[in-house]
Structure 1
Amino acid sequence: MSFERRREVGDAIEVDEVGIEYGIHGEFRLRSAYQPIFAPRGRFLHAVAVEALIEPHRAGRPVAPRAFFDSVAAPDRLFVETMCRVLHLRNYRNIGVDGLDLFFNYNPLINDHRGRALAEIRLMTRHLSDLGLTPAMLVCEITEQAADDALLTRLVREIRRHGIRIAIDDFGTGHSTEQRVGMLNPDIVKIDGTWFSDFCRHAAAERFFRPLVSTLHDRGARVLVEGIENATHLRVALDGGADLLQGYYLARPALAGTVFEEEPLHTDALLGRDAKVIPLFG
């Protein structure tokens, strides 16, 4: 990333009255939101990480992220993705909880020039300590699996060399397959939420999900199930041996600056009630 590009990203970021940073792109205001990720421990689920997400606003009202990103012109996509990542890293200190890992998205198709992509990764890691972060706290989610295999392998190697862990997103769909897992050796595999929801409709879902989790464990990866939206999803994920859990049934994304409730969630209560969001932020 050139100096000119970095300067432009900084010019597009403002700070609100309480110190939360937000981005400006056209008529949109881009705000960081963080969704908790839980690990089962005994009969409780403990928040161990957050995934950074962008919540676009237009005329003071939230807009669906897909609607915003679909509106971004191709020449501006690298700029917008870079700005989003900068916002997430800078705003992490405003979630009010220490010690949680931070998942952030990285789409290698948006920056598919190897030299620029590697320079961007090095630049990002160089300034982490200024933000109260360490590479060991970060998990880079590879969000687009259609990238060239050679480029993707080189990028993953560079990211990992800097101490950042790798997650493959949307496993079960598109290019996110066991073959790609074998090639990249990710630290974490995220099971696609839509695929998992469809899978859970089968009567023997628990019985068939456990072998998949075991296979991924044998490859050295932890398994994160996203899209947990009801008690059935949670039961299948827990019975299957998933390591990490994420979804609206457990907690919705919340904007940076919202007070974080650190109490663990009781699995017995979650499994015994109808699909209902358990608010983790108040």
Structure 2
Amino acid sequence: WSAYQPIFAPEGSVLRAVAVEGLIEPRRIAQPVASSIFFGGVPASDRLFVETLCRMLHLGNYRNIGVEGLTLFFNYNPNVNDHLGRALAEIRLMTRHLGDFDLEPGLLVCEITEQAADDHVLASLVREMRRDGIRIAIDDFGTGHSTEARIDLLAPDIVKIDGAWFGELCRHAAAERFFRPLVATLHDRGAKVLVEGIENAQHLRVALEGGVDLLQGFHLARPALAGTIFEEEPLSIGALLDAGNKVVPLHQHR
């Protein structure tokens, strides 16, 4: 099943939903299954098909969010298809069908995940997507191959800080002092900074004091299935900082 988790931008005293990330909630015999288990069980010969199908589900269900102008983040695992010709054909097929989904390329952000990849193939794919108007994000920065070297290679529009890494950082008393220079360095490289895994008020506080541009996590809003009513009202930063570990609901089910 296709689900979307809101991504927020700070605007004065509130957080406003400006984007969503497309996620998959797998089911087996009508029961939820962890994504890692589901994708881990997909045979290697089928992985490209499954990844492409998931991406097309996110694009096709975007209109069911019912809010115009939201940016759509989608994942791209560079390890699934490392053949340049096939990878380019896959991207061109996707962009060719955007009109069928009432989507403009400028609303899309491709998250390059942290897996290893051939640098030449990856750089060629990024050039192709940029030519079509799709923005690029590096996912899970701080883990795997989502490193400064990959930032140098791809010059991403957005760097997404890994939630687990950020959560560990927030356990330290001087978290803000260490985090702020990292955000400033990424800004100097021309990238916006998105922090995922905002799960409590402390995470939110460190992220905001660090000067990040975008925020995502359970403390702000949980993923909701396509077709769920999307509440557009902004969230009060003060209320979220006072909420401890309470989740502020953003969605209601039809």
Say yes or no: TM over 0.5.
Answer: yes
2:221 pairs with 248, 251, 272, which one?
A: 251
The yes-or-no answer on 1:95 pairing with 2:65 is yes
- Hey, what does 1:212 align to over in structure 2? 182
State the Cα distance separating 1:159 from its structure 2 match. Answer: 1.0
1:48 is aligned to 2:13: no
Contact persistence 2:194–2:213 (CA under 8 A) = yes
| 1:195 counterpart SS class | helix
Question: Hey, what does 1:180 align to over in structure 2?
Answer: 150
Instruction: State yes or no: 1:104 paired with 2:68.
Output: no
3-state DSSP of counterpart to 1:141? strand
**8 Å CA contact retained: 1:51, 1:104:** yes
CA distance in 2, matches of 1:237, 1:277: 17
Residue 50 of structure 2: aligned partner: 80
Give the superposition deviation at 1:274: 1.2
| 1:265 counterpart = 2:231 | no
Q: How far apart are 1:145 and its partner, in Å?
A: 3.8
Q: Which residue of 1 aligns with 2:172?
A: 202
Deviation at 1:225, TM superposition (A): 0.1
Number of aligned positions between the proteins? 252
SS in structure 1 of the partner of residue 248 of structure 2: coil
Task: Determine the structure 1 residue equivalent to 2:109.
Answer: 139
Taking the aligned partners of 1:99 and 1:274, their CA distance within structure 2 comes to 31
Q: Is the 8 A contact 1:46 1:265 kept in 2?
A: yes
TM-score, normalised relative to structure 2: 0.98
How many Å separate the matches in 2 of 1:178 and 1:196?
16
* Counterpart check, 1:227 vs 2:197: yes
Aligned-partner residue type, residue 84 of structure 1: C
1:57, CA displacement in angstroms?
1.2
Distance 1:144 1:189 in 2: 12
Task: Give CA deviations for 1:171-224 in whole Å, capped at 9, x if unaligned.
Answer: 011211112111110000000000000000111001110100000000000000
> Are the equivalent residues in 1 in contact too, given 2:114–2:143 (CA < 8 A)?
no
**1:248·1:277 contact (CA, 8 Å) conserved in 2?**
yes
Whether the aligned pair in 1 keeps the contact of 2:20 and 2:71 (CA below 8 Å) is: yes
After TM superposition, give the deviation of residue 273 of structure 1 in Å: 1.8
DSSP 3-state at the match of 1:147: coil
Of 125, 150, 158 in structure 1, the residue corresponding to residue 120 of structure 2 is 150
Q: How does 1:29-68 map to 2 (within 5 A)?
A: 31-68=1-38
2-structure distance, mates of 1:103, 1:273: 27
Q: Which runs of 5+ in 1 are unaligned?
A: 1-30
Moved beyond 2 Å, runs of 4+: none
Gaps of 5+ in 2: none
| Matched letter for residue 46 of structure 1 | R
Whether the 8 Å contact between 2:113 and 2:146 is mirrored in structure 1 is: no
Q: Which residue of 2 aligns with 1:23?
A: none
Q: Which moved more, 1:171-180 or 1:182-191?
A: 171-180
Letter in 1 for 2:87: A
Pick the aligned partner of 1:70 from 10, 32, 40. 40
Secondary structure of the structure 2 residue equivalent to 1:233: helix
| One-letter identity of the residue aligned with 1:133 | L
How far has the Cα of 1:61 moved from its partner?
2.0
Note if contact 2:186-2:192 (Cα within 8 Å) is conserved in structure 1.
yes
3-state SS of paired residue (1:168):
strand
Q: 1:121 aligns with which of 91, 100, 113?
A: 91
Within the alignment, does 1:275 sit opposite 2:234 as a pair?
no
What TM-score comes out, normalization by structure 1 length? Answer: 0.88
CA distance in 2, matches of 1:255, 1:269: 26
Which residue identity lines up with residue 166 of structure 2 in the other structure? F
Pairwise CA distance, 1:39: 0.2
Give the Cα–Cα distance (whole angstroms) in 1 for the partners of residues 116 and 12 of structure 2: 38
The Cα RMSD (Å) is 0.8
Name the % identity: 75
